[in-house]
Amino acid sequence: MEKEQIEKLDNILRTIESTSMESVEYGLPQYHIAKQFAEALNICQKVGDSERERKFRWEYCLFSAVVPDIEHRKQGVHGIEPRVPFVDEAGSDQTLFIHEMLIYFKTRLSETQNVVLRAQYAHILWDRRAMSTFAGKESAEFAKTACKEYTNVAKQHLEVPDARLLVVYSLNRATGVALELGDRECTDYVMHSIVEVIKEWISLGQYKHTGTLAEILLHVRKTAGGKNLIPNQLLSEVAQQLGLIVRNRRTLDELDLARHILEILARINFGN
């Protein structure tokens, strides 16, 4: 029985490491990963592996957490907040992401190549930098890694039909981290990535979530204190694509969305 449970646990861990949107039936992969870690810690409870059970509980806490997007930030919510609070056997509140947990997440960041996992590990290390011994240059590197990996998640799922929300969420999170860090190079990288995704989706006739990405650009424009961080050349290329849609008189829905995005681009250019 124990052997079967250990084999099941090994399969779960392999599934987690290979998780992408293609392997998830519904929802975002982060929540799928949380569910997998919940199963892993239950197995550890059954076989009496308290050490791994504890660590998988940390993982579950992280991947089921609410990660703030731009809308959260507009409402003053900034930090990553667990959905399910719990206290360990020693009476320590695990929802605080204590230093021992952060050390563990740092190790996991160095071990895995899965971009979904890496983005979340790096983000929590940046988010809870004040609670750890990571400071200065090292914490800034976590932020840059989070931006890079969230953007990689978006790029890897760009052409997956059911993954457009994941692309938007990932770029939204990358933008939030970049703005918190205040690093121009990092922000430029994320902004260029968003514009490239917008161009790609417009060329594919996918407008539904394109407007949301344009809204992210507008938010950055406003947050930057009047500075336009998005190169005008890139915005012009997007505007030309949208102009063709309007001139070619596509469906009313397409026209409405195209005009909406054009209005947002104009507001970005003129700082409104």
In a domain, 82, yes or no: no
In a domain, 211, yes or no: yes
Helix 29-47 to helix 2-17 angle, to the nearest 10 degrees?
160
User: Which residue in the block uniquely carries the two structure tokens 């940046």?
Assistant: 126
In a domain, 241, yes or no: yes
Q: Is the pLDDT of residue 226 over 50?
A: no
Q: Is 239 exposed, middle or buried (0-12, 13-18, 19+ CB in 10 A)?
A: middle
Confidence of residue 243 (pLDDT cuts 50, 70, 90): low
Q: Please tell me the total count of domains within the chain.
A: 1
Which of 100-104, 140-144, 164-168, 243-247 has the highest average model confidence (pLDDT)? 140-144
In a domain, 197, yes or no: yes
CA–CA distance from 213 to each of 2, 107, 165, 208, 217 (Å)? 49, 33, 11, 10, 7
Confidence of residue 106 (pLDDT cuts 50, 70, 90): very high
In a domain, 229, yes or no: yes
- Mean pLDDT computed over every residue of the chain: 79
DSSP 72: H
Confidence of residue 220 (pLDDT cuts 50, 70, 90): confident
In a domain, 95, yes or no: no
In a domain, 255, yes or no: yes
Domain that holds residue 189: 183-272
Q: Which of 65-79, 116-130, 176-190 has the lowest mean pLDDT?
A: 65-79
In a domain, 150, yes or no: no
Please report the pLDDT score of residue 257 as a whole number: 60
